[in-house]
Chain A
């Protein structure tokens, strides 16, 4: 999956630029490198909130997403997540930017103490109505049972993935046409 073009870093490119007089050659080389980097960072620039009570899982999910280029914030339970989202929405409104999403995605574990993912999602959806936005929420559950999937959708979640996070399934969800 790795191509030799990817191994060319900017230092080499500069050398290439200096030594090579043909502009079209180096610019197409640069395009290949940038394209490869974008391939490897499909979540580049995305702001993601990971809500998970298990320390290890939270760390793993966050690391996987960071590797894909995302800016990741974390919460350890539904209540924390709800507060974080409410604060982000109101901060944005104060800055006069109420239409954009504070997060491109929220990864929400379903089973958590204090406040579970279903409840947190329900309350986030209520809060969102004030701002007329809809943050895509991805439910994370241990199993892929149809009851769990329908429970997630009933609570207002948009997608459903099983833990631990698998990158290919994640990309299917992210690239699916059903997006607000």
Chain B
């Protein structure tokens, strides 16, 4: 049956479209369009009233022109008029015009509300659907304001036609997503759940989507949907392939509805009711069984539809993670797909297996497929499939197969696509650290990484290897030897030179006994690379040289010669020049004693301790979904300081600013000012200046300098670094560079116990924050100050919440122009829906003098902001304390004090943290005891805490007990950083 013929109905439109298609050039097209626009304009302006047909035709032409990419600035009124027509075709064109153009002209919406209201009330199902589709397609807040209460009525009214119900359900879904606050919950909600029983499968299809969305926010209100969904699913799954007639697709009964029902069930834990659960397990088994049956059709549509259900069923099985039998069956099924001739299936099987690998029940089963997966990594044509294979290898990795997987990944890296190299590098680095049984293997692996894919080895990776070498005595000699050998290669990557520079500078003495790697040989080897390296690497090598002078006095003459050469001491680069000058002076003026103190004693340059970037985890997060470290405990290399601990670095180990700064310690100059020595006064003054002033020198550049200075997110490791920073802060040239380094500062720690302050500051922009929190709600005022005299353009701050739906943050856009010297304010309304650990992110983009600035900050919204202090008596406290005695309810940290142990300050911090301080509860008056409730929308979490200072050891023990494990851990981590 030829349903429609070309352009039937509107001949003029068809002619116009043909004309446009026949235009030979863009100019001809524009000419033709302008002619048509003039024609339409004159028709609309003419005295003669247009009939509905002409109006429809012209509006349709305008729409066509708009879709070609031209602006339309008239015709809206005519389109609105079409809405009141009682002819379907005219109404349809009117609605279409509005839904397509509404983005460009939101004024339109107000004009059409009335027409939509009339159509909704018309009892004509065709018109009602048109109106509902329009509301759904526009989906703006204005639409929600006007119709959010009307649509639910239409949805559950007894006499509503099925097709209207379908549209109403999805229309309501759209309004709810746009403006959940405007959709009133009420009596209709229970009736919506019962739509799962509706006879019309189309209605069920639409309703499941709505319920899935609603139940994510209100799981309790909708939990009856579980049993209804199970019974609906069971009826579909057990039906014969012809039972459902219209809804059978290539012999598969209702595939899309099945998928949607299985997704709905993933919003809930396994059903508690044994009968329901039994029925569901039966369904899942049937689905798995059907995958083994011979196909009813050879068409790909048949197998795709069937497998769509299968993959969703497997997702549900993984979500429950409680049925070992089903998990292993799922794994076996996916194993078959790994070798299927359809690329799609291989891809999806790899992807799905990745999640199976994290379940303790199926981890072993997944591991049996290692050879197939390695083969996929080597042979798949589609890079995205290879990527999934790499993800899966990463996920299935454990102690037993780590060496094999890492070596396969390394060999793949030699030929890997550029697009995924960085990610593979990161994966290898993480696995090598996590599963290293001997450190020489770890060092080899990382050096191999640098050798094979040096460009893709980020700073975090090579900082890490240095850090581990520093922390492990037993590997230092091996590392020095290996890196020395690696540097022999005629062409080696600059990152290798950096690692070599550090490691030889620290531990070169361990191999200096061998004449083949004597101090001078080491130095010459490093210096042979010097001239090919970038400024940053050269700077690093200069630091290595000064360490060499200390380690090996016999190299002093040679190195001084190098430092003294014009290419160093008169280098055009100010940093290199300055290093050369200062190191030269240092090596000639300072007594051996000073140098030894500068370097530390016994050749141990670097104080063991973590110093690495938070960037690592960020990088891993961007890298891939597959990158969350596979299950199991933390790193073997540095317990408690493995990858999991990295996020907190820099913050947790911030030295107390009141103790002598590391730079002073290293040079020993603060204690013994060189003014009295034979040192030339210029150099001496510079140094003294720097040390007495290193806070104020930067204060104009960054807020609260010691925070930033000491918790610099990505700071190069090595003893010389703090020293360098200290030294160079004094010179004007370096201020710029440092200011750059200092932004963005990590705001997290500073705002845990206070609500107001400067969140961020650089030379252009200052961001102030003021916030208040009550129960589970909060309001935050952000003040963006333009510090320059030039206008910021396209100023767009955007707040995002990285994971899940634990926070609901609403805000309004700010004006895109910020005048010089002006301040704009943005208000965030924050609702805490459930407990969370990640901070929301604030991304600010703007143009300043033509260059795009892009800043991303963590907003100081931490879980403790939703603390409500609770007073209680001693006996109550201990009773509750005992109630929360399960091991996972408690989190404890023992840590060194980073600030003076002042009891008033500590009290203020605890109060700022949000809990009530309870006096006379703890028998030891030195201890602090607190209590409070974390208020979230979905639940309240009672928290008890106890802080025991030990003034003698300068240590604290912090214990938190709450009813929820992640809350205990998270709060404990947050608070521990404060002391």
Question: Are A and B part of the same complex?
Answer: no
Question: Which residues does B use to contact A, with CB under 8 Å?
Answer: none
